Amino acid sequence: MKIYPITIDTIKKYLNIAVDNNQFDEVLIMLIASSYLQAQRITGLVLSKDETDDETELESNALIDLAVAKDIATNFQSRENFKDTENGNPIALSNSTLNILTQYRKQIIF
């Protein structure tokens, strides 16, 4: 299991879902994973790690976390349009989130 800067409990609170309500956990975990995968690919920042990895430090950025949380909530609310990240179709990040992520890009891509 991966560790992300935003926890599933934080997203549940953001969506006004009771923390002990496990009905949507798998969907929320998929949304968190796919959002941070895209954010990590765009920025080059270390935004996730394995539970067993004690050496890696997550790079924290509140602006990125807030933008990603907003997109997770938006995609959760329109969940009938989900695509499976394992088949190469992660959820869509909004243009505003992509603009924020681009500001934190470590490498300039030409």
- Whether the pLDDT of residue 69 is over 50: the answer is yes
Residue-level pLDDT at 18: 92
Residue-level pLDDT at 110: 46
Residue-level pLDDT at 19: 92
User: pTM of the predicted model, to two decimals?
Assistant: 0.75
DSSP output for 7-74 = -HHHHHHHTT--TT--TTHHHHHHHHHHHHHHHHHHH-----EETT--SPPPPP-HHHHHHHHHHHHH
**Sign of the alpha-carbon torsion through 6, 52, 31, 8:** negative
The pLDDT of 93-103, averaged and rounded, is 81
- Whether the pLDDT of residue 42 is over 70: the answer is yes
- Whether the pLDDT of residue 56 is over 60: the answer is yes
